[in-house]
Chain A
Amino acid sequence: GAGVSQSPSNKVTEKGKDVELRCDPISGHTALYWYRQSLGQGLEFLIYFQGNSAPDKSGLPSDRFSAERTGGSVSTLTIQRTQQEDSAVYLCASSLSHQETQYFGPGTRLLVL
């Protein structure tokens, strides 16, 4: 079946602009996760959704970062007033439930100039 998909695959933006990154999880997966992968930093957890609610937002680095999930499916990660340090690969993962295996999408490569 279809895996996790993310769009866009690449995004180049100017410092100060807002960006929206989209994640389509595997159908039927109730849990959805956002991670950030920076050069030399590994994968860092950002936020986790169970259904449409976000029980754990502890990884969001600042209030410029927000995420929502609608209909228990698609999720959008929004970064406002982007900064150069926001440049990274943003990965989305989904799982059947919170303790199950996480399946990753291909990521969105964000470059802030």
Chain B
Amino acid sequence: QKEVEQDPGPLSVPEGAIVSLNCTYSNSAFQYFMWYRQYSRKGPELLMYTYSSGNKEDGRFTAQVDKSSKYISLFIRDSQPSDSATYLCAMREGAEKLVFGKGTKLTVNP
């Protein structure tokens, strides 16, 4: 079993839809959880950063972490065509390397 599992999709939704992206993980020591967005032929950019369990909201984006279930989610409200990208979850224990999911490719259709 991989340390971090993420459904690669692809996921296609109409503009304005609510998008839900998820990752599961096996290492209970992970404490720091991130979501990166990667546009085609670009490097990943940090979207959301969460420490431990709970929710974090930033504009149209909400990140949720459930450590008891080893499950993290990213919700995108009122999705826009400009949200079309690959979304990568990443996590680490502390002062350790980031462990990434394989990424979910999202397309938002106008």
Contacts and interface: CB of A to CB of B under 8 A. Distances in A.
Interface of A: 4, 33, 35, 40-45, 48, 56, 58-59, 91, 93, 98-99, 101-107, 109
A101 B49 contact: yes
Interface string B76-110: 00000000000010100011011111110000000
Q: Is the interface of B mostly helix, strand, loop or mixed?
A: loop
28 contacts: A4-B43, A33-B98, A42-B6, A42-B102, A42-B103, A43-B88, A43-B98, A43-B100, A44-B100, A45-B97, A45-B99, A91-B43, A93-B43, A98-B95, A99-B95, A101-B49, A102-B46, A102-B98, A103-B46, A104-B43, A104-B44, A104-B45, A105-B43, A106-B41, A106-B42, A107-B42, A107-B43, A109-B41
Given A40-B102, A41-B102, A42-B102, A106 B43 contact: yes
Contacts of B101: 42
Q: How large is the interface on B (under 10, 10 to 19, 20 to 34, 35 or more residues)?
A: 20 to 34
A42 B88 contact: yes
A107 B38 CA distance: 11
Contact of B98 (A41, A45, A105): A45
A100 to B, nearest CB: 10
